[in-house]
Structures are given as structure tokens and as C-alpha cells.
Amino acid sequence: MDVATLKEMLQKGESILLLDVREKEEVEAAGGMIEGAQNIPMGKIFIEASKGLLPKDKKIVTICKSGTRCEIVARELRQKGYDIEHLEGGIDEWNKSLSNPPSV
């Protein structure tokens, strides 16, 4: 999912679980997460899923720094029946969109 699509879904108030799979230290070093996101590092996400702690009835969007880890998590959990996508380009792309708004 690209940044524009995610922003549109959030603006419409769609029910989405934003799942930031970066390590806690990475999140802190980067200055935080997208508002409303939950942080479950990639190393723990599959354990959480196996315990049934992630919703299968809600759209999930995974986020990492650049899009690689969150794509792996999304691919693996999609195979387990989750409605899940990853944020293309990760938080880096999200932050670029904030500092470079589209020209009108």
C-alpha cells in the first residue's frame, strides 16, 4: 500500500490496525511512530499471531523503516489468513510525504 492510499483510508476513518514492526530503539531514534500505531517488533510479531493476539477481522498495515521487514511480515501473515498489507517505503516514505506535500 502506498502512503497516499493509507492517508486516504485514515482520513476516511476506516478501521485499520497500524502495526509498526521496528525495534523499540529504532522507533525512539526516529522520533516515534505514525499516530495510532502499535509497536510489535518483527521478532515478536509471529509469536503474537500464533497466540491469536492479532485480529483477523480487521485490516492490518505493517510499517518498518524502509518497507522491507514490513513486507516480509505482511506476506507471512497473509498466508495465515490475515487481511494485511505493508506500507511501501515504510516510515521513510511516510515522513517524506509530510515534508514534501504535493503541489496544487
Query: Is 70 assigned a catalytic role?
Result: no
- The 10s digit of each residue's pLDDT in 86-102 is 999 999 999 998 876 54
CATH 3.40.250.10 describes domain 3-99:
yes
pLDDT at 73 exceeding the cut of 80: yes
pLDDT at 103 exceeding the cut of 50: no
The residue assigned the cell 516510515 is 91
Q: What is the domain partition of the chain in residue ranges?
A: 3-99
Catalytic position from the list 19, 27, 37, 64: 64
Question: Quick one: average pLDDT of 29-51?
Answer: 94
Indicate the pLDDT class of residue 35, thresholds 50, 70 and 90: very high
